[in-house]
Structure 1
Amino acid sequence: MGVYGDWIVMVLAGGLIAIWIYRGLYRWLHSPPAARRLVLGEGAEILADDENVQLLERHGYQVISGKHRVPLHIEVDGAPMESRLYIDYIAEQDGKTYIVKTARDRMPIDWTGSGLRDRLLVYSLLLPECEGVLYTDAKEGTVRVVTFAWNE
């Protein structure tokens, strides 16, 4: 190649690199913040004799993951605090994934809009790819599906 041939190759290579960098920055700026998304591990072992697992299976759900502990780091006026959220199970039915919370005697749930919001919305926001929250009560033998939607 002549004198101009080398320049043409360099301009084309530089243009391709500039397009590649532009597309990467554009995708990064316009995509959801993946770095802040929660990725759950495998969770605890699923016990076959657990009454909540058996209840979910009777209602057609497949429990795919055991209990998860999600650590939270909180700061109030510069003072650090620690807490955690517990997800009892992750279940699946018809290709849809659900977060499972189980009923507790010491923490009864208020079945009003504000009561459900206060107790279960955090789980729906924590894992937005899930279809909703299943609330199981082994004593009553019920599985309730709770979903949240935003009015636009």
Structure 2
Amino acid sequence: MGNYGDWLVMVVAGGLILFWLYRMFYRWLHEPPGMNTKLLLSDAEDVHDDDINVQFLEKAGYEVTHGKYRVPITIDLDGTILHSRLFIDLFAEKDGKHYIVKTARERMPIDWTGSGVRDRLLVYALLLPECEGVLFVDHKELTIRTITFRFGS
């Protein structure tokens, strides 16, 4: 029985390893493509401590980890290549949670309705899904709004 018991243990262990490898491959195959955050943030500008938005976030308990970042975008429109970019103002962290920070602009006011927030800020949440959400900072009104998006009902 000892000889057959050893083989049985080996077959079960091998089966578990094969099942684990299959699940890892399946998860990798079906997870949405994401950007490597470390590569993305390596090109971000340094944080300027004299920036009023940085000071406001730090007073509220956030640690500003990275400065401005430009995400280049190449668009293929019917065979014509177009170039654009997204601007992320800052990256902040609080209680181990990471946030993308957008700052208020006078010439680009935000409509605080569901569709207004979606149209203006959803792209940032989709760009870095590992972030907790988007912080919208308005230092003139002394507000920091935390926006998180949940999909489905």
- TM-score by length of structure 2 reads 0.79
1:54-81 per-position Cα deviation (integer Å, ceiling 9, x unaligned): 0101111000111111000111111111
2:27 and 2:92 mapped to 1: Cα distance?
Answer: 31
Unpaired segments ≥5 residues, structure 2? 1-13
Query: Structure 1 residue 111: deviation in Å?
Result: 0.3
Alignment of 1:37 with 2:34, yes or no, is yes
Q: Which runs of 4+ in 1 moved over 3 A?
A: 22-26
Query: Structure 1 residue 148: deviation in Å?
Result: 0.6
Match of 1:62 in 2: 63
| Bigger Cα Rg | 1
Query: Structure 1 residue 105: deviation in Å?
Result: 1.0
2:98 and 2:75 mapped to 1: Cα distance?
Answer: 28
Query: Structure 1 residue 25: deviation in Å?
Result: 6.4
Counterpart amino acid of residue 105 in structure 1: E
Match of 1:10 in 2: none
Q: From 28, 37, 49, give the equivalent of 2:25.
A: 28
* RMSD of Structure 2 on Structure 1 (CA): 1.9
**Could you say what secondary structure the match of 1:145 adopts?**
strand
How many residues in Structure 1 have an aligned counterpart in Structure 2? 133
1:130 and 1:95 mapped to 2: Cα distance?
Answer: 10
Unpaired segments ≥5 residues, structure 1? 1-15
